[in-house]
Amino acid sequence: MTIALERTTPATLPAPPRPARLALTPKSPLGGQLDGAWWPRTRDLVAELPLLVAALDETWGRITRVTVNPDRWPVIPHTVPVDGRTVHVGWFTEQDPDKLILLSYTIGRWDLLVVPPPHRPPRPA
């Protein structure tokens, strides 16, 4: 008697999201104009903002709005879903292109320096 066994590969689970790359300045009465720095991995706000906002929610309170300069972001969505809620995204050409502004109705405003991701040229076809 011959038994045929079918080999299957185990289903691969999606990789857990990587945490936001972030450094915050310590609270001090001599605080400067920046509250920290953020190193997004891409220029995709829909992919990057949920990680950033989730990382800051416990520290800074619920972020409700984010503003950017359109010179640095190829696509700026009006809203981004974050943990079952919506964060509004706006843009201002007068805003420093290397700065991201985060706003909360209850806590206030925070400014982060954005360290841009490395530019990767498109792969040849």
User: What whole-number distance in Å separates Cα of residue 123 and Cα of residue 125?
Assistant: 6
Q: Which structure tokens are listed for 31?
A: 């605080």
Give mean pLDDT, residues 21-26: 87
User: pLDDT tens digits for 60-118?
Assistant: 889 999 999 999 999 999 999 998 999 999 999 999 999 999 998 877 899 999 998 87
Q: How many residues does the chain have?
A: 125
Average pLDDT, the chain: 84
User: pLDDT tens digits for 8-22?
Assistant: 555 555 555 677 889
User: What whole-number distance in Å separates Cα of residue 50 and Cα of residue 88?
Assistant: 11
Nearest to 45, CA basis, from 104, 87, 94: 87
Name the residue with tokens 């992919």: 47
